[in-house]
Amino acid sequence: MVKNQDNAERISFFDIDKLSKKYMKDNEAEVTSNNQRMLKTISVIYFVVIICYNIIVPIFFNEWGVSYIYQIALIVHIVILALVLLRYRKGLRSKREVQIVCAAFQLYVMAFLVIVSLVPFDNGQPAVYFAPIAMGFAVVFIYSFKTAVVLGIVECASLIITTMIFKSDVLFINGFSTILSLVIVIYVVYVVYANRARESKHRKKLRKMGQTDKLTNIYNRAATEMMSQEYIQENRDTKYALMIIDIDEFKSVNDTYGHQTGDKVIQSVAKIIEEAAGTRNIAGRMGGDEFMIFIKGWNTEDDIKEIAAQILRNAQKIEMPDDRVSVSCSIGVCALKEDEWMEYDDMFSCADKALYYIKENGKNCCAFYSKE
């Protein structure tokens, strides 16, 4: 368990894989950018490790010897490092490319780990010190928690099996080191993804705060307009509608009962509108006593009328301190069919005209805009 510092929630070990995938989905560009940057960083670190090994071993551990495999590894990695730095020195590459390159780099490191753990054959050097380094790449390059754990297990199994076949005299130390590395890596990966999950939740909370109207806790005008515009651009050949709702004579509520009661009326109407809109459609407060619902799909006008009727019916049920003022709403609608299309601003203007018509002709009702 890892304690959530923000709200004392505990993230279960078994929830991490689902949360890690959700983090990837919600932060795709950032994940790709981070992995691209870490690919460069780890390539440099790995290069430095090989250089140091080739220098330090002959000086301080000459009884081990430095086999030709280490010089070959150095030459190979110089080429790989050059390619990585040239390709990823600037500009964000595609998600798919970065995933493939990171996975290929991980396999390359794993292969090197197995090789250096088996040679030279003429002494007892197990070279297991590379195991934690190699397995650590799972944290950086493999996105989901489950995949990282599976990769660590594959690396452990590869090293232990090859040791059993080719160099059984160091099986104990190879096995112990790799299993210990696996345990460490699983824990590190868990901590990393637990932190990512918390960070993602925190970002969502901040994002929601930026999109939510403080008084009513539904979408604010900016968020409502943005999401409606996005839907219109991506779904031109579908039926959709824009509904503007306005509280009738709201100034009388404030003048009669005060702004505190007025705020409660706005909150009550917002809740009614949110319930009528349902989870599929977009409900937001446009400011003051004006609200909007963007209806993403409808079959007949009766579907829209039912939403409007629910709002009108429930708004009249809002309880007031006395009978001096009652609550009602007026609704203007702009509904488009498959062969019709408008920009968001034009739709809003049409719905506003329908609302104005209702305001001038009795209120507490719904009107559909038509060109005629």
- For 242, the 3-state DSSP assignment is strand
Question: What's the CA gap between 317 and 306, in Å, rounded?
Answer: 17
Cβ-based neighbour number of residue 121 at 10 Å: 9
Q: What share of the chain is helix, strand, coil (3-state, %, to 5)?
A: 65, 10, 25
**pLDDT value of position 314:** 95
Is residue 276 a contact partner of residue 325, using CB atoms and an 8 Å limit? no
pLDDT at 7: 42
Which residues lie across from 246 on neighbouring strands?
290, 330
pLDDT of residue 121: 47
Instruction: Give pLDDT tens digits for 44-92.
Output: 887 887 787 777 766 666 655 556 667 777 888 889 889 888 888 777 7
DSSP state of 93: P
Q: How far is CA 92 from CA 28, 42, 85, 186, in A?
A: 12, 17, 13, 29
Question: pLDDT value at position 241?
Answer: 92
Task: Convert the pLDDT of each residue in 125-174 to its tens digit.
Answer: 545 445 555 555 555 556 678 877 777 777 778 777 877 887 777 777 77
Q: How far apart are CA 24 and CA 144, in angstroms?
A: 8
CB 189 within 8 A of CB 139: yes
Q: Classify residue 247 as exposed, middle or buried by CB count within 10 Å of its CB (0-12, 13-18, 19+).
A: buried
Closest CA to 180 of 204, 194, 160, 161: 160
Report pLDDT for 8: 40
Please choose, from the candidates 244, 359, 258, the residue with its C-alpha nearest in 3D space to the C-alpha of residue 290. Answer: 244
Rounded Cα gap, residues 357 and 228, in angstroms = 24
pLDDT at 100: 85
pLDDT, tens digit only, all 372 positions of the chain: 333 344 445 677 777 788 777 777 777 777 788 788 888 888 888 788 778 777 776 666 665 555 666 777 788 888 988 988 888 877 778 888 888 888 888 777 777 766 766 665 444 454 544 555 555 555 555 667 887 777 777 777 877 787 788 777 777 777 777 777 778 777 877 887 787 777 766 666 656 667 888 899 899 998 899 889 988 887 777 889 999 999 998 999 999 999 999 999 999 999 999 999 988 899 999 999 999 999 988 888 899 999 999 999 999 999 998 888 899 999 999 998 877 888 899 999 999 999 999 999 888 999 998 776
Beta strands in 263-352 (DSSP E): 282-287, 290-295, 329-336
